[in-house]
Amino acid sequence: MAETTTKTHSVTVSRHPLVVSWAGVTDVGRRRETNQDAFFAEYPLFIVADGMGGHAGGEIASQSTVARLEAMVTAGPVQRDEIQHALELAVGDIADHPEATDEGTGTTLTGLFLELDDEQPRWVALNIGDSRVYLLREDRLVQVTTDHSVVQELIAAGKISPEEAEGHPYSNVITRAVGSSELTPPDYVTLDVRVGDRFVICSDGLTKELTDYGIQHFLRENADAAAAVDAMLAAALENGGRDNVTLVVVQVDDDSSSTESATAE
């Protein structure tokens, strides 16, 4: 497996020093020849993209999208308008790429960023497609994002149960993507910043192999972000690794070792 390391960044929320730590990894899995997933994890943005569309198309789409968002982080503040602009540029990159000839070329995108509003940091989850953001808060795991998929629409309409969705023939069909056509904006969910919160950002290569209970179990058993990432990846591969597997764990702790914490900016 690829090496996983933990990174940290100190922030101040309501004059309280906190430390955000994170780790991420991507793996080709046990069944695929190429890895069409990509991720970026650098404060204040943490994202996962799962590409689709032909042998090269998915890799082009996911890497183009991640590259544009990485450039946005390097250039300045991470805001919703800037994310939208970066994604519009990614759509152009995908459309202009000589190997992106398949109309199905595109990528999911999901992730998390720290947004400043009146100097009060807040988490914002974003999502296009069926990659997911989970939150473990007060020992309870919840799915923050809502899948943009055919089966999710069927569940919402009451036509199938969540259990029936697992083996549904349309389980891999998504209804939104970042691709070579006009961009549909991400959905956003805003969350307050709390000590002890732990987020999992992942492609469906993880959730195909691990239940929500399994994700919760490995978070409980591994306090360090990198250790949790490694444990979940190992379990996903052991359970079959039928797809590329990508995940990022982000968590918030008291920065008790810091006497002069940096303000989030």
Strand order in the sheet with 7-13: 7-13, 16-27, 245-254, 198-202, 132-137, 140-143
The per-residue pLDDT for range 197-235, each reduced to its tens digit, is: 999 999 999 999 999 999 999 999 999 999 999 999 999
Name the nearest CA neighbour of 140 among 215, 224, 249, 201.
215
The percent of the chain in helix, strand and coil, each rounded to the nearest 5, is 30, 35, 40
More confident residue, 258 or 130: 130
Residue 264: pLDDT over 60: no
* Inter-residue contact 78 to 115 (CB < 8 Å): yes
Instruction: Please name the residue that has the structure tokens 């899995």.
Output: 29
Residue 258's Cβ-side half-sphere holds a number of Cα atoms within 13 Å equal to 18
Which pLDDT score, from 0 to 100, does residue 263 have? 42
Share of the chain above pLDDT 70, in %: 88
Residue 1, pLDDT > 90, answer: no
Q: How does pLDDT run across 234-250, given as a tens digit for each residue?
A: 999 999 999 999 999 99
The confidence band for 262, taking pLDDT boundaries of 50, 70 and 90, is: very low
Q: Locate tokens 């002890």: which residue?
A: 196
Q: Which residue type occupies 236? A: A
| Inter-axis angle of helices 225-238 and 212-221, nearest 10 | 140
| Span 111-160, pLDDT tens digits | 999 997 767 889 999 999 999 999 999 999 999 999 998 888 887 888 88
Question: What CA–CA distance (Å, rounded) separates 61 from 107?
Answer: 6
Contacts with 120 (C-beta within 8 Å, 6 or more apart), sequence order: 13, 14
Mean pLDDT, range 38-63, rounded to an integer = 90
pLDDT at 165 over 80: no
Q: Cβ(8)–Cβ(19) under 8 Å?
A: yes
> In whole angstroms, what is the distance from residue 52 CA to residue 196 CA?
35
Report the DSSP beta bridge partners of residue 126: 111, 188
212, 109 contact by CB (below 8 A): no
DSSP state letters, 28-42 = -TTT-SS--EEEEEE
What residues pair up with 12 in beta bridges, in sequence order? 17
Which among 41, 65, 53 has a CA at the least distance from the CA of 202? Answer: 41
The model scores a pTM over 0.75: yes
What does the pLDDT average to over 84-90? 95
The arithmetic mean of pLDDT across residues 46-65, rounded, is 88
- Taking the C-alpha atoms of residue 95 and residue 90, their distance in angstroms, rounded to an integer, is 9
Identify whether the C-beta of residue 102 lies closer than 8 Å to the C-beta of residue 36. no
In 3D space, the residue among 81, 61, 82 whose CA is nearest the CA of residue 73 turns out to be: 82
Residue 257 has pLDDT above 70, yes or no: no
2: confidence class by pLDDT, cuts 50, 70, 90:
low
Average model confidence (pLDDT) for the chain? 89
102 pLDDT band, cuts 50/70/90, is low
Indicate the pLDDT class of residue 260, thresholds 50, 70 and 90.
Answer: very low
| Residue 168 pLDDT exceeds 60 | yes
Q: What is the predicted pLDDT for the residue at 13?
A: 83
Is the pLDDT at 183 greater than 90? The verdict is no
